Homo-oligomer: A and B are copies of this chain.
Amino acid sequence: MSEPLEAALLNGQAVDPAASGLSVLDRGLHFGDGLFETLACRGGRVRFLQLHLERLAHGCERLRILAPDAGLLRAECEQLARACDQALLKILVTRGPATARGYAPQGNERPTRIVLRYGWPALDPRHAVEGIAVRLANVQLGENPLLAGVKHLNRLELVMARAELADPAVFELLLFSSSGQLVSGSMSNVFIVQDGRLRTPRLDRCGVAGIMRRVVLRAARAAGREPEEAALTRTDLESAQEVFLTNARIGILPVRHLESRQLAPGPITRELQALIAPSLEEAADA
């Protein structure tokens, strides 16, 4: 069993998640017409809250959803984070209940915002040290520049990808796009190191531009590296000396097993793990 849901706010009101009052007309349900964020809380604080709120606002702009007041969302996140030493928050923002039938937004929708707090998922501490096992997904990601990078609610491809993953020893799946480009993990971004160069897939045709990806790119630049966002292929992945995954929950996890290939967590992975360690992260967010 996974981490339990501990609290839920629907438009700011605490709701019983089992019998909560979401409208059956919500466009988030009907079309996946909305966005989400997953945030890590530690010591009663939300990490990188400002970056998450910025991405959410940017996503609203991309989908032309009226962004909820950032101060309100910030307050709701802080309210749910306050009581916990470690927890995960999930924010969902949708265009709101439909004001007319059909796909077309009418412009008069009032967005729905939901903030959920989950218990902190146990993460084997050896993963960050020794590395994880990763497989290549059979599911490929459809390409759409209009939605690329946005953390929207159309996630059925990832549901199908995760349904593939039966082996509990495999931590994550790496996905390619329908045109064969490396994109990301199912719940993480991916970086590779080739001959000392740090590279990550450019997310202009699909994928989600993760906050930890952004933090890592920023930390690498500040350290004098020149990380590259590029179109990467399977060959690039196979020729990499280091591969690591990032997200808000896992931070940076080195890949040790990539299908049948063995890798060792390398020096650049270690350097970046140290650079994004919690104390520095907090400073970076301030």
**Chain A residues in the interface with B (C-beta under 8 A):** 1-3, 5, 8, 10, 15, 17-33, 36, 63-64, 88, 90, 92, 94, 97, 100-106, 114, 116, 118, 121, 139-144, 146-147, 152-163, 165, 178-179, 186-187, 205-206
Contact = CB atoms under 8 A, between A and B. Distances in A.
Given A101-B2, A143-B142, A154-B156, A23 B22 contact: yes
A115 to B, nearest CB: 10
Nearest to A206: B142
B187 A160 contact: no
Given A101-B121, A146-B160, 19 more contacts: A1-B100, A2-B101, A18-B97, A21-B21, A22-B22, A24-B114, A26-B29, A29-B94, A31-B155, A32-B156, A63-B156, A90-B101, A101-B118, A103-B162, A104-B162, A104-B165, A105-B159, A142-B142, A179-B179
A97 B66 CA distance: 26
A193 B103 CA distance: 28
Q: How many copies does the complex hold?
A: 2
A89 to B, nearest CB: 11
Given A21-B20, A104-B162, A157 B153 contact: no
Contacts of A155: 30-33, 103, 154
A206 B157 CA distance: 13
B29 A29 contact: yes
A24 B8 contact: yes
Contacts of A154: 31-32, 154-157
Given A22-B20, A23-B17, A141-B144, A2 B159 contact: no
Contacts of A114: 24
